[in-house]
Chains A and B, each alone.
Chain A
Amino acid sequence: MLDISNLHATVADKPILNGVSLHVPAGEVHAIMGPNGSGKSTLAYVLAGRPGYEVTEGSASFEGRDLLAMEPHERAAAGLFLGFQYPVEIPGISYLQFLRESLNAQRRSRGEAELSGSEFIKLAREQANLLGMDTEMLKRPVNVGFSGGEKKRAEMVQMGIMQPRFALLDETDSGLDIDALRIVGDGINRIMRAPDKGVLLITHYERLLEHVHPDRVHVLIDGRIARSGDIQLARELESSGYAEAVA
């Protein structure tokens, strides 16, 4: 489903990714762990197409399409979703308006009918309820005045509304308390665990993985996958640290 081969990327001319190769088949959840500065967020941004993140070598394809040749909004319409590590605040625009514009833009580009206001509100309310989020919060400007945990939960509500084919989740678990972690973990399982979907989950902590049960765990160090394994690898990292685990 997602195929990354020998991917090199720079940010402000500084090499960050130094040959990442990764294959996530449909129906699987893969986790990427790694120390600070190892390139985890860069990988997520490169795959989502953030300006300023330049691919210098290698390839990335999504369901056989060249991901790197697509604009960010085309990647979204193709079914890619990026859960942001730091969700962005947008004053003056309500969450409902933001998400309705987003979803309808995706639907238009896929040749599907747009949702009416009432259809959309029903969908948004359902998804907010499933993630334990007060629907009133969706009337507020995008992420403005939200706590760290509320922002992450709102990212999951967005994912539930968009129903992507593939989710890149960049440290969705950071800033969450134990209860919120469980809710987010359940949300990932409910929304994304399906034979035709896939997830790449970037995290520092093993705890979320106990909820989500990834099929594979990869360790990213210095912009390369240094080791891959199953959830046992994550448990090992948790107890012994990166230096020992990849020695």
Chain B
Amino acid sequence: MTAPFPTHKQEEWRYADLDALKPVWEQFAEPVTLTVGAGESLEEVWLPVADDVQLRRVQLALGAGAKARLFVLNTAPVYGRIELEVSLEEGAEFELHGANIGTGLSTNEIVTRVRHVGVGGRSRQVVRSVLNGKAVGSYLGKVEVARGAQKTDAEQSVKAMLIDRGATANCKPELEIFADDVKCAHGASVGELDPMQLFYAESRGMDPATARALLVEGFVMGLWESAKQPEAISNAARDALRRVV
């Protein structure tokens, strides 16, 4: 049976483009489950596809000492949503390196719920959004630390860059902590290109368009530096940025 169609009243669907989602809901509603057994490692690169509406709902269960790293590029032409529910057993490590690159009227969002259930888990989420026109890019990230999940180390770093004034970025890191010896850091910023960086690049000979493209590239491309095979996602991100900047 298909999960009930969401509404904007649900916090995790607040910024979603439900009109775009409606016709394809049945196809995507059922979450995919990934399990990484104790001590094992998983690294995945999620590239965008050609569809106007793209939805990925994934439940990721990490056993004791398991490691998972996800590199995600979210750049659907109409509506893209990456939805992740992650659970970490003792000593598990989870990394998400994600980008929303949106143009025109598109909505792209990364929505995560990371549950630290075991002691000493580590999660690190880094999300960068680059948006032009009237595009919307969102990160809604909830980190839950269960009672007894001491020594949890959770980090969320969220930054958005708006190329045009009409674009919108939503950043909502959220913490729910039921243990007293944990480290949970989060930072969020929304900005435009730095005028001094632009002038520096132009004073070296780059025309304004080249300078803007390079600075935005620098803002995003650091995400893939730790990937084992960064080529495909780097190229896809570069292509996406060319449409935006």
Interface set of A (CB-CB < 8 Å, partner B): 48-51, 71-73, 75-77, 82, 84, 87-88, 90-93, 97-99, 101-103, 105-106, 109, 141, 158, 162
Contacts and interface: CB of A to CB of B under 8 A. Distances in A.
Interface stretch (B29-37, B73-81, B134-142, B199-207): B199-207
B219 A98 contact: no
Per DSSP, chain B at the interface is helix
B210 interface: yes
* Chief secondary structure at chain A's binding surface: helix
Contact of A73 (B196, B207, B215, B218): B207
B207 A105 contact: yes
A103 B205 contact: yes
A98 B199 contact: no
Given A91-B222, A92-B217, A93-B214, A73 B206 contact: yes
B200 A88 contact: yes
B197 interface: yes
Contacts of B201: 90, 98, 101-102
Given A98-B214, A105-B207, A92 B200 contact: no
A73 B217 contact: no
A91 B218 contact: yes
Nearest to A158: B204
The number of chain B residues touching the other chain, given as a range, is 20 to 34
B208 interface: yes
For the complex of A and B, the 8 pairs showing the least CB-CB separation, nearest first, are: A92-B218, A102-B204, A106-B205, A76-B205, A93-B218, A88-B200, A72-B202, A92-B222
A98 B204 contact: yes
A76 B215 CA distance: 19
A90 B197 contact: yes
A106 B202 CA distance: 10
A82 B199 CA distance: 11
Interface string B173-201: 00000000000000000000001110111
